[in-house]
Every structure is written in structure tokens, then in C-alpha cells.
Amino acid sequence: MFKKILIANRGEIACRVIKSARKMGIATVAVYSDADRNALHVKMADEAVHIGPAPANQSYIVIDRIMEAVRQTGAEAVHPGYGFLSENRKFAAALEAEGVVFIGPPSGAIEAMGDKITSKKIAQEAGVSTVPGYMGIIEDAEDAVKISQQVGYPVMIKASAGGGGKGMRIAWNDAEAREGFQSSKNEAAASFGDDRIFIEKFVTQPRHIEIQVLADTHGNTVYLHERECSIQRRNQKVIEEAPSPFLDAETRRAMGEQACALARAVGYASAGTVEFIVDGARNFYFLEMNTRLQVEHPVTELITGIDIVEQMIRVAAGKPLPFKQLDLKINGWAMESRLYAEDPYRGFLPSIGRLTRYRPPVEGETIGGGIVRNDTGVYEGGEISMYYDPMIAKLCTWAPTRDAAIEEMRLALDTFEVEGIGHNLPFVGAVMDHPRFVSGDISTAFIAEEYPDGFLGATLVPVLTRRIAAATAAMNRVAEIRRTRISGTLGNHERLVGDDWVVTLQGSEYTTRIDADREGSTVGFADGGALRVTSDWVPGQPLARLMVDGVPLVLKVGKIPSGFRIRARGADLKVHVRTPRQAELAKLMPEKLPPDTSRFLLCPMPGLIVNIAVNEGQEVQEGQALATVEAMKMENILRAERKGVVKKVSAKAGSSLKVDDIIMEFE
Amino acid sequence: MKDILQQLEDRRDEARLGGGQRRIDAQHAKGKLTARERVELLLDEGSFEEFDMFMAHRCTEFGMQADRPAGDGVVTGWGTVNGRMVYVFSQDFTVFGGSLSETHAQKICKIMDMAVQNGAPVIGINDSGGARIQEGVASLAGYAEVFQRNIMASGVVPQISLIMGPCAGGAVYSPAMTDFIFMVKDTSYMFVTGPDVVKTVTNEIVTAEELGGAGTHTKKSSVADGAYENDVEALAETRRLIDFLPLSNRDRAPVRPFFDDVARLEESLDTLIPDNPNQPYDMKELIGKIADEGDFFEIQKNFAANIITGFIRIEGQTVGVVANQPMVLAGCLDIDSSRKAARFVRFCDAFEIPILTLVDVPGFLPGTGQEYGGVIKHGAKLLFAFGEATVPKVTVITRKAYGGAYDVMSSKHLRGDFNYAWPTAEIAVMGAKGAVEILYRSELADREKIASRTADYEDRFANPFVAAEKGFIDEVIQPRSTRKRVARAFASLRSKKQTNPWKKHDNIPL
């Protein structure tokens, strides 16, 4: 076995690899850029080597820098993580040339699976089900129409070198095929400098389901079952689970065996993932093979009990896999939520900055008998920088059933405290409560279909708001009693805290009466019902863990005048708790609408105004560029949402603005 | 007998109706509560004891004798806020538009006199059209009687003004002399002369809101210390503020049970200071992490944001915080921030509230705007305020403490009791670049030499140890342990006694 390995990556995956290496008694070397000097992976590793400036193209993906670090530390092997150099054939070759082991597949396999057309051909030859389509190069638009007719509409027209939705069109008829071919070709030429196009069947109700494979250098290849990764936002996976709620044993076995066949066909050794697209009738088609460790591998580890990183290292050291296909059973259900530093209330714009508070849920076994696992590369007081992937953590839960795993995830998300930056915790929290997600009836279009106008915060069901009302009524009583214990009160004339409280939240009003005793409070409602609330919460604690009628409830608690800001289950609520008289008077207060900002161009993110493209008094058309804001080294052009006349320009080039600062006003 | 008792109830019912149901409804329609409703929300339920409910005016001009409503447009009395005594007056806009008559003023004066005598804060709720014109000079006399009491009560009991409607003309000067003014957005305004007069005299066209609304006074003029969405919120937050304040200058700052760890370590503070010395960070994070339960009541949040002022609790006891804010103007001192902080420091000193000063200050803001505006005198106010304060004073320098601003910010030399610095502190006469340009003027042409001189200067002076060697810094502390160290420092100062030489009063540069 190796004595020392280097991890050519950063963030949570570097930390993840270090953990397995440490468990195996292998020393670890981290590499870091200027921006990662204080990063968690650097603290965790036994040694760390600085490899250059913050931008990845000057540090993490510069092969020479990594090679230099390898030489300097004498690492015997390198784990590339995912992204960066993980699927770079030249990197694998460079390591090989110096006799350093690449903890990943042979470079031939990387190359074979690296190109969409080649990989599909190999897959077909290996007997893997592929999407019906035309593999050759398409000459012109008429050729494209003919092929589309053969494949059968709807078809997908795709750039061979494509990715991220670029150079991709869906056509439902001849005219669309003709037009789509031309625009895909143009886009492909512009984006990738490679205008080769292919056409394939467009799969409806598509699900993204992938098979984890493991192969060693002794001819053993196994599959670790599937992961369902259909919950995606613009091709970025957000929630993954294993197993899939959709597959039956037969389909699972067929997909697994085909994935292994493909791995064998390319002489695969290490961990890899074969991605399939599965339609509503459980027809599955090969998409691509990722020749690396996948971000979402923890869910597979949780249902199989296998440490995939450990196996990758062992395979790289020439060891055989210690299990056979028959040993690999599915145990329970695992969910993964990817926590991104993306503000869901602002169209998921990346949010950078300091984590003023970062308290993940406690890992390990839960009181409900489940498991919580959190793979992270950050810490409280650390910085989310503009240079890298905005992922904060991968929060996983395991439980015997899917429903229980979801419930564990809800609690874990509610317990997860992240402050200082915008993040998608509320969004994944909302998805976990979404009836369609809970039913398992999902597709890759889930987010686009269910949140067509973006995410505005979750609306909680009445059962839940009532529980929160009971909880906050009880909490408020504790806070009010503390207030009366202040020094300097008028003896014998102290304030007595009453039992009647009116709670308003999310547009509902609950009239409650609290009957408190030593252990907790029974909160009675006007309709005669009551909820029993117990908790060890004391004023000032940002997290309240409660039991409401025997069911756990976790709330993030902030203070607002006469009440609390409560965050839970993807909702961000203003909860007012008032005496009946206060509530009566509060009703007299006018509803204040948030100021109408449609007449203003507001700065969507903290940044620097590069230029203002219009003048006061100028008429602008919908879509016209108004100003450019530089944020995170990116120039963002702000455009007019509708036709109008510029009344006043408040910002000028060079000014540095905060979120929602006014840039200009329209008439 | 029963009839006589009933008569009292009937009279009370009538008095409670103020200007009648129609006017009460009109008040509600404007989104405002009535004078009595406000008192109800301000005080503990059922704790209000009213004075002079039946007092009526004595005016006989303009047919006024025909209309003598009980109470004369102001509700006065005392009650408790979380069990602690306060005095209150609340002007009733439904009675003669809340206008101030001679008797109206007498009612206010009565409770102010009692407040000073008995040592409890005065809270004034202002909602008045101004002087009662029918009474002429008697009304003006009434204002002046109130003013004189505001002045005498200043520094004896805390005085808080809530502006919950119009407050114009001479009427503004009573709130102006109180310790804190809070306004309600959209329904209150304050000005000496209204939009009509402004238009006549200067041809300026301006709305009441622009001239003297909550936005104007919290952001531009700094007349008000805060603004709230509505009456209910303003009154709830006033109760919260009162919990921070001592009842009088004969009392200590209040203490209440707290649920926080005195020795709580905050490892994240070790990375609060960015690697790049020119990068800002949010000083409020540090305040929140030092305070009990992260609870901070900020004063003048929207004015001169380059300095932060407000109240926190440490070990349950109120502490006033003054902190430079690197996020705004790099945290420098200027006219506005000096005035804002000076007034706050003097309030704390007057009422025995210990002061915590957090320092990251690159110096005073340069420029003609500042010099012409008199930054010398205004800056001196803060220097004066810190220097004369005899309350416990703990200072923590987190990063920059340059030049005269270092002296000003509650330095050791101004009788600071505990002057701590983080290892990231740079206590120097100025930044390295500026210093080198002066010290090595002849070498300015040689970039390399200047760079090495700058590096040398940084090595030697950009740290807290030069000051620590001289005893100007009592101890260099780890950022993570700031709460614990500050709490222990204040604990050790609980029986601090310090007095200034006898004087009639000082002559702070106003």
C-alpha cells in the first residue's frame, strides 16, 4: 500500500479523500492556491504545498505545478478528486511517466470515454442500450431532416463537443430540425471551435439515473447499483438519492450489467459512473461515462457500506476488490442535498463572502435511527471565494426507507446553520416537502416545472404552521418571563406574564392559551385543540429543538419586534406573538407594501459599476443594455425589462454598490 | 352613594374617549393609534396610573370656554415596563389636534418633576399640531416650562421621545433635548418651519416627508435615532430599549438573567481580519459575537455608518458599544461620526453605562469638506467625551489605529481601563506607505528602495507590540477569546470609582 498520496484538488472532495487515506494509514499531501491558504483541506492534510495564484487555471489545473508538488513531497500516488484534472488524460500520462500512480482509471479509458461520439460507439459495440440516433457526421440541413425522420420525432440535435446545454436543440418537425441544425452548428463552432453535430431521439419524461461501477486490475468489475440524480437546475444536480424510486430489480440488473460490460470494454479499473437517461416506460439509454469519482458518491456508500475512495486507492495499489457482485446489496435509502452558495431568492446568483456562522448538523446516528453525513470543505469564519465551485457541503441522510430518509433530511436541513452568504438551504428544504418529490414522480424537468418563476420561499401547510404557532407561543412565554426578571423592578408590582397569546404567521392567526408546567407547555387553540410543546430552548439560542406532540421540530430563531423570525422547511417567516390586546391594536396598523422597485434598476449583486450605457432622459427598449456590473471578476450586463425612459441615473462608472442599491430610475 | 361612584366611571369613560369616536376613527384611518392605546402598548398590561385625567384648559378667548374636554389633549401618568417604573405623557391628536395649551404643558411638567424626584425615565409620545393658537403666549410659556424641565432632567433620568405624528415649530425643541428620538415611518414628521413657509421664504418646494420625515431625520439630519414601520413596532422596540437603560443616574445599568456562556470562544474571529489590509470586514459580526446572545440595540444605524453605536449586554448587564465600521469609508472618523459617537459616549457616561470601544480606524477623513465643516471641533467632541468619561472603559483594537484617531478612540491615554489589541493590530502614527513617503522623501524615485523601506516599516510598526512595549496596550489577546477577556475586564471594573475635578460644568467644544 502507498505510504503517502497527494490530493490534486480542494474543498470537500479533498477533505473526503484525506479522511479515507487517514483511515488507511496513508499520509496525505494537500495542494492549495493563494485563495485557499486557510482552507479546511490544508488544515486536515499532513503536508500542504502552495501551487500558485487563486484562479484554477494558474494553480489546480496546471499539470506542472501538481507534478512539482508530487516531486517535492515524494507522494507515490495522486487522487484527482472530481473536476480539475480528474479526467485529463495528459495528467494521467504525466504521472505515469514519472512512475507515480494515478488513482483513477487507465488513461486509455479516460480518452475512450472523453468524446461523446466515440464513447457512444464503444457503448453500442459493448451491447449497451443507446439513444436511437445517427452517429456519423451530418453534412447539411437536408441531411439532418432525413436523419431526424428516420430516428423519429422529437429529436435532439447536439454538438459533438457540447456540454452545459450549449449547441443543443429539440426539434418536433422538419422545419425545426432544419433550423435547429443550423443554429446548433453555429453555436458549436463559436463555443467549442468544433461544429460537428449529431442527432438522437429526444427522451420524454427523462430521468437521470446512473450506475456506479468499480473495477480492479484483476479482471473484477462490479456495479454498486444506481443513483437517481433527476433533481437538477440547469443541468446542475441539486438532490440525489440511492436507490432510485423508479427502477425495478430487473431494470436495475440490466443497467448494472451493461455498465459493467462497458467498463470491461475499455479496460476500466477504478471507480466510474455510467450515466443513463431513463424514460417514462423504463427504457434506458446510455448518456456518458464519467471516469472519476462522482460528487454524489456518498449516497452509494451509505446504501452499500462501501468506502469508494478506499477502494479506488486499493485498486490503484494493485489490490483486488474484496467483494463480488452478489455481496452488494441495497440497504435502506440515502438522500443527498448539495448546499450551494447560491441565493435562491435572487435567481440562484452565486453569493460569495464570509461564513459568519456555519454549524452543520451532528454527523452519525440520529435519535430517529437514521444517519447524517456531511461532506464539507468549509468552516465557520472561512470564506466562499469567487474562484471555485460554490458548493458549501453535501448533506446526506440515510434511513431504512425513502420516506424516513426524507424526514431525516428535513430535520438535518433545519438544523444546518449557515449565515453570512446567500445559500440554497431554503430551496432544498422546500423540495423535501414538495408532494411531487415525496411521491417519487420526478424528472429532470422537476425544478423547471415546479418552480417556473424561481423560488420565492416555501408556503407551509396548515398542520405545520399550527405546530410552529404552538412552538413560538411557548418560546415567547419563556422570553417574556426572562424580561420580567430584570433588576430594578418595583417590588410587589412586578409584571405578570399572561397565558393568552395571539400568534400570526404566514397570514394565519392562532389564538392560544398556554398552560405551562415543569416539563413544558400545553398550548391550547381556540378551536379546542391543543399541542404539547417541550424544549430546552432559552432566549438567544439561534436554533430551537422542540418536540411538538411527540414529533421533533427544529426552528432557526431570530428576533423581530414582538416576535421571531423563524426559518424552517424552506420557509422564512415573520412570526408575531402578541397579547390579545396588542394583536387587536396591531390589526389597525396599515399593511405596508414593499416599495415598488419596478421603476428602478437595482444592483443584483455586490459589485463595481463598469459602465452606464444610457443617459438621463433617454428612451430605452426592452432588452437594451443599461449598465455593466462587475462582480466576481465577471461582467454582468443589466438590461431593460421593458420599454421606458430613464429618469435619473444614481450610480456612475467606478462606484461600488451593494445588493439592491439603485442604479437608475425610470419614469 | 352608588350614583356618585357611577358618576366617576361615567366621567372616566368620557375622558377616555378624548376627542370622540369620530376623531378616534380618523386617527386609526391614518394608520395611527390613539394616545391611550399607545400608552397601553408601551406599559405593562394594567400598570398605567393616570394623573390629571380631568384637567381642562382655562382659555376663554375665541369661544374656547364652551369646549373644555377632560384631559386637555394629553394623557399623563406612570406605569411599568417589565416591572420597572417609567413616566409617560402621550399627546392626544383627537383633542384640539393635540395642541399644547398652558394646562397641557402643566400636566407634562408635573410628571417630569416627579420623574426627576423619584428617579425614573420619561417617555414622551408626540402627536401634536403645535401651540394652541387660541392661548397665545400662554402656550409658548407652556413650551418653555417643558424645555426647562427637559434641560434639568438631562443626565438625571433617561428621556425618550417618540414622534408619532406631527411635531413642528417650537414643539420640536422638547424632543431635541431628550436622549433619544424615534420616529414612525410615513406618519410622523418634525421640522422647525413647514413646507408652506419654506416655499414662501426660499421658493423651495418640498413635501413634509422630504423635509422632516423619518427618512430625513435618520439618514440626513441625525435628529432621530431610529425609525419604525408603525406605532406598534415603535412601542415594542421602545420597551426593548428601556430594558437596556438605568432608571436614573442614581441607579446602575440594569442586569437581567442571560443564557450565554461568559467564556464562549469564537474561533471564527481568528479569521475576521482579511489578509489584505485594504479589504473591509463587518465590525457588527464582532459586536454580535461579543454580546450576550448576539443581541444588539443599535442607535443611529442609518447615519454616519462609519461608526457604530448601540447597546449590548455582557453577563446580563448593559454595555454601550462604540465601534469603527471598516465597511463604510474604511471606518475613518469624520464630522458626522465624531458627533454621533460623542453624544452616545456622553449618554453612557451620564448614566453609568460601561463603554466598550472597538477600534479599526485609519485616521480622520481628509478634505476641504471636512476642514471647512469644522472637523477639528467636531472630532474634539469625541476626544473630549471619551476623556471625561469615568465609567468602566474597555477598548479592543482589531486592526488599524493610526494617528490622532488612535488617541481619540478611548486610548490608554484617555484613561482607558483595559486596552486590548488583537495580534493583527497596527498601532502607528500612520500607514506604512504614507510614513515612508515622508521619512524617505529623497529616495522616492527609487521604487525598489521605497518598497523595501515600506516592508521594513511594516515589520517594525504594523503590529501591536511597539505599543505593548510601552504599556499603551495592556495585553495582546487572541481574537477568539475576545468575549471572555472583555467580560472579565468589565467584571473587574464593577466597583470602579473615578471622579473628575469639581467644576460648574465643562466646556465641551460644541
Active site residue B253: no
Are residues A488 and B269, on separate chains, in Cβ contact within 8 Å? no
Interaxial angle between packed helices B283-290 and B482-492, expressed in degrees from 0 to 180 and rounded to the nearest 10: 60
pTM here is 0.90
Residue A495 with chain B: CB contacts under 8 Å: 44-45, 47, 80, 82-83
Of B82, B267, B295, nearest to A380 by CB-CB distance is B267
Query: How do residues A500-522 score in pLDDT, each as one tens digit?
Result: 999 999 999 999 999 999 899 99
With a cut of 70, say whether residue A610 has pLDDT above it.
yes
Mean pLDDT taken over chain B: 94
Confidence (pLDDT) at A188: 78
d(CA A198, CA A134): 6
- Is residue B393 within 8 A of residue B409, CB to CB? The reply is no
Cα distances (Å, whole numbers) of residue B118 to A551, B88, B154, B247, B248: 51, 14, 14, 10, 9
With a cut of 70, say whether residue B489 has pLDDT above it.
yes
Mean pLDDT taken over chain A: 91
- Is residue A263 within 8 A of residue A255, CB to CB? The reply is no
With a cut of 70, say whether residue A162 has pLDDT above it.
no
Q: Specify the higher pLDDT residue, A531 or A618.
A: A531
Give the pLDDT mean for A646-652. 87
Q: Determine what percent of chain B is predicted with pLDDT higher than 70.
A: 100
Are residues B33 and A585, on separate chains, in Cβ contact within 8 Å? yes
- Is residue B108 within 8 A of residue B89, CB to CB? The reply is yes
- Give residue B350's identity as a one-letter amino acid code: A
Q: Specify the higher pLDDT residue, B84 or A236.
A: B84
Q: Which residues of A touch B (CB under 8 A)?
A: 37-38, 354-358, 379-383, 420, 482-490, 493-495, 498, 538-542, 559, 561-562, 579, 581-582, 585-586, 588-590, 592
Query: How do residues A294-317 score in pLDDT, each as one tens digit?
Result: 999 999 999 999 999 999 999 999
Confidence of residue B277 (pLDDT cuts 50, 70, 90): confident
Q: What is the DSSP letter of B500?
A: P
Give the pLDDT mean for A354-368. 95
Query: How do residues A109-133 score in pLDDT, each as one tens digit?
Result: 999 998 877 898 899 999 999 888 8
Confidence (pLDDT) at A165: 61
Confidence (pLDDT) at B507: 95
Confidence of residue A189 (pLDDT cuts 50, 70, 90): confident
Substitution target in A487, A535, A574 with the highest count of B β-carbons within 10 Å is A487
d(CA A420, CA A470): 29
Residue B264 with chain A: CB contacts under 8 Å: none
Q: Determine what percent of chain A is predicted with pLDDT higher than 90.
A: 69
Is the C-alpha dihedral spanning A430, A435, A441, A446 positive or negative? negative
Most confident of A199-213, A398-412, A620-634: A398-412
With a cut of 60, say whether residue A368 has pLDDT above it.
yes
Q: Which three cell numbers stand for residue B288?
A: 454580535
d(CA A63, CA A52): 12
Nearest CA to CA, how far is B459 from chain A (Å)? 21
Are residues A562 and B285, on separate chains, in Cβ contact within 8 Å? no
Q: Is A426 left (phi over 0), alpha (psi -120 to 50) or beta?
A: alpha
Query: How do residues B279-302 score in pLDDT, each as one tens digit?
Result: 889 999 999 999 999 999 999 999
d(CA B335, CA B401): 18
Nearest CA to CA, how far is B135 from chain A (Å)? 34
d(CA A391, CA B86): 52
Instruction: Give the least confident one: A187-196, A372-381, A604-613.
Output: A187-196
Confidence of residue B1 (pLDDT cuts 50, 70, 90): low
3-class secondary structure, B14 = helix
Residue B258 with chain A: CB contacts under 8 Å: 540
Nearest Cα to A469, choosing from A417, A419, A410, A529?
Answer: A529
With a cut of 90, say whether residue B149 has pLDDT above it.
yes
3-class secondary structure, B310 = strand
Q: What is the DSSP letter of B369?
A: H
d(CA A409, CA A552): 13
Catalytic residue among A240, A288, A342, A407: A288
Instruction: Give the least confident one: A410-419, B61-70, B252-261, B497-506.
Output: B61-70
Confidence (pLDDT) at A213: 97
Instruction: Give the least confident one: A427-441, A634-648, B60-74, B349-363.
Output: A634-648
Nearest CA to CA, how far is B231 from chain A (Å)? 8
Query: What interface predicted TM-score (ipTM) does this complex get?
Result: 0.93
With a cut of 90, say whether residue B266 has pLDDT above it.
yes
Instruction: Give the least confident one: A36-50, A136-150, A425-439.
Output: A136-150
d(CA A332, CA A47): 38
Confidence (pLDDT) at B157: 98
Of A487, A538, A590, nearest to B31 by CB-CB distance is A590
Active site residue B405: yes
Query: How do residues B8-64 score in pLDDT, each as one tens digit?
Result: 999 999 999 988 999 999 999 999 999 999 999 999 999 999 999 999 998 888 888
